[in-house]
Structure 1
Amino acid sequence: MINGIIHRLSTGMQWRELPERFGSWKTVRKRHALWSADGTWEMLPQHVQARVDAEGGIDWDVNVDSTSVRAHQHAAGAPKSPPPVPARSSKGAPRRSVHLRAHHSGAPTSASAVSGM
């Protein structure tokens, strides 16, 4: 049962394509849904971690070396081209677009209509 769930999640296949060696796909899918709903999947790693920690098998010291952290190549500050000139409508008038301003958190602050040039 668990092997069937792991196999399906690791391959990304549809439930109906699950090989017969794992049992009925309906049973495996139902068990996965039940365990997801009742929190069993979250409880399992916590239980294993608690047992290993009680036996002294976990070293909780963490070392972060910031010299090995590198920015992505696109974050290197390459020159940016100017924004494109807004397109004009078939009648020659500039098209209007709505721009939304947002806080750094992504929450909108205000909207304003801006005419093209």
Structure 2
Amino acid sequence: MKGRTFLSAILAGTLLATQGCERHEERIFHMIRCTMAASVEKQNDPLIVKSWEITGLYMRENGIKKNIAELTKITANVRDEIMGSSDSSWDGRDTRVNEIVNSEFCRAYLNLLQQK
């Protein structure tokens, strides 16, 4: 288990180094956004679990404390972005998912997770 935690810390550190100096809150939002979009697109459970673990580790290492209501709000906002309005088509949802997954941040983040 220690090796897995150490690997997660290395991945999180590498992500920080490749993405520059964004605010922590914005980074957390993008990590969650990327995870949720990837879960819709790929249904890759091990990758999704690893992503949630890295997000939690990143928050702990940076002293970021979010309560359930704050995390629920972030995920609700991402869900609304992905699903679109009530009259949106599935094709529209798929387009939004692809845009998120193919964003620079998400590509780099998912590639790092898949390497380990």
TM-score, normalised with respect to structure 2: 0.23
Structure in which a larger fraction of residues adopt strand: 1
Q: Which has the higher contact order (CA 8 A, sep 6+)?
A: 2
Larger Rg: 1
TM-score, normalised with respect to structure 1: 0.23
Structure in which a larger fraction of residues adopt helix: 2
